[in-house]
Amino acid sequence: MAFFQVEKLVKYFGGLAAVNGVSFQVEKGEILGLIGPNGSGKTTTFNMISAYHRPTSGRVIFKGQEIHRLPTHKICKLGIGRTFQVVKPLGRMSVLDNVIAAAYSRVNSHAEAHDLALETIRFCGMASVKDQLAKALPIAGRKRLEIARAMATKPELLLLDETAAGLNPTELIEAIDLIKKIRENGTTIVIIEHIMHVIMTISDRIHAINFGQTIAEGTPQEVASNKAVIEAYLGTDYA
């Protein structure tokens, strides 16, 4: 039994199949990269895992339990955290308050939430901005806040949705370091990313999809040289 698996997920929006039969498994402690051109169904898959959409068919199984019919907040409590592709800061709250709100999912007193939040903020390298309003942060800060918030819910599985988009080279290095640190800390990660450099360096395995279906799976090297993947990204001329 895999730590986490997604089985033949299908999602129709009206007549259009955004996701049409995606399956993959994730082992505890690994980093699985999810790649594919724009519109291939990656974020929709994440949305189905975290129950923002109900799958038209298929199953999501986490630690042996079917979760695809549970509400989003229960899935968080079970141990799956996520970040959003289009960041959702709780704008008029400070960074610290953002993370405290997340921390309350695991503890109940204000003191404990405060401590857990501070710890998480330090872990994610945000201590210097902890009292700033979330909406005052630049994009790199907001992306990092997404991660800090998700981490404060103490997830066993973390879904990262394009956390590197919009970052400059320095910020990218910092982001990669943070992700590695999170894995070392014991969290399993599934990451959607467009920036090849990022996803190739940190993923143990990669799962490629296009038009809502799996087109390749394997190590980064295997997938990078896979004909179907090259065709999906660069067109048939390059295959």
Partner 1 sequence: MKKNLVPLVVLAALAVFPLVVADNYYRHLMILFLMWVVIGSAWNLIAGYTGQVSFGDAAFFGSGAYAAGLLSHHLQISAWWGLALGGFVAVAVGLPFGWICFRMRGAYFALATLALNEVLRHGAAIAEGFTGGMVGILIMPSFVSKVPYYYVALGMAVASMISIQWIVRAKPGYYFVSIREDQDAAESLGINTHFYKMLSLAIAAFWTGVAGSLYMNYMGFIDPDVVFSLHDISIMAILVGIVGGVGTVYGPMVGAFVMVTVQELFRSGFFGLLAFLGKATGSGAIEAIAKTITGAHVLGFGILVVVVILVLPNGIVGDWPKIRNAVFRTKTAA
CA 146 to chain centroid: 10
The one among 150, 179, 191, 208 contacting partner 1 by CB under 8 A: 150
Q: How many angstroms separate the first and last alpha carbons of the chain?
A: 36
One symbol per residue from 106 to 125: x for binding partner 1 (CB under 8 A), - otherwise; what is it?
A: --x-x--x------------
Segment contacting partner 1 (CB under 8 A): 4-12, 78-86, 121-129, 216-224?
Answer: 78-86
Does the protein bind partner 1 through residue 76 (CB under 8 A)?
A: yes
Burial (Cβ within 10 Å: 0-12, 13-18, ≥19) of residue 114? middle
Residue with Cβ nearer partner 1 (105 or 132)? 105
Residue with Cβ nearer partner 1 (157 or 206)? 157
Whole-number Å distance between alpha carbons of 103 and 100:
5
Does the protein bind partner 1 through residue 91 (CB under 8 A)?
A: yes
Does the protein bind partner 1 through residue 138 (CB under 8 A)?
A: no
Instruction: For residue 205, give the nearest of 187, 223, 192 by alpha carbon.
Output: 223
Whole-number Å distance between alpha carbons of 27 and 32:
9
Does the protein bind partner 1 through residue 149 (CB under 8 A)?
A: yes
Residue with Cβ nearer partner 1 (109 or 170)? 109
Judged by CB under 8 A, the chain residues 180 through 239 that form the site for partner 1 are none
With H, G, I as helix, E, B as strand and everything else as coil, classify residue 236. Answer: helix
Q: What are the backbone dihedrals phi and psi of residue 225, each rounded to the nearest 5 degrees, phi first?
A: -100, 10
With H, G, I as helix, E, B as strand and everything else as coil, classify residue 150. Answer: helix
Whether 204 and 30 have beta carbons less than 8 Å apart is answered as yes
Whether 164 and 196 have beta carbons less than 8 Å apart is answered as no
Residue with Cβ nearer partner 1 (77 or 180)? 77
Residue with Cβ nearer partner 1 (134 or 202)? 134
Judged by CB under 8 A, the chain residues 8 through 67 that form the site for partner 1 are 50, 52
In the complex, the residues that contact partner 1 under the rule CB under 8 A are 50, 52, 71-73, 76-77, 81-82, 84, 88-93, 97, 100-102, 104-105, 108, 110, 113, 149-150, 152-153
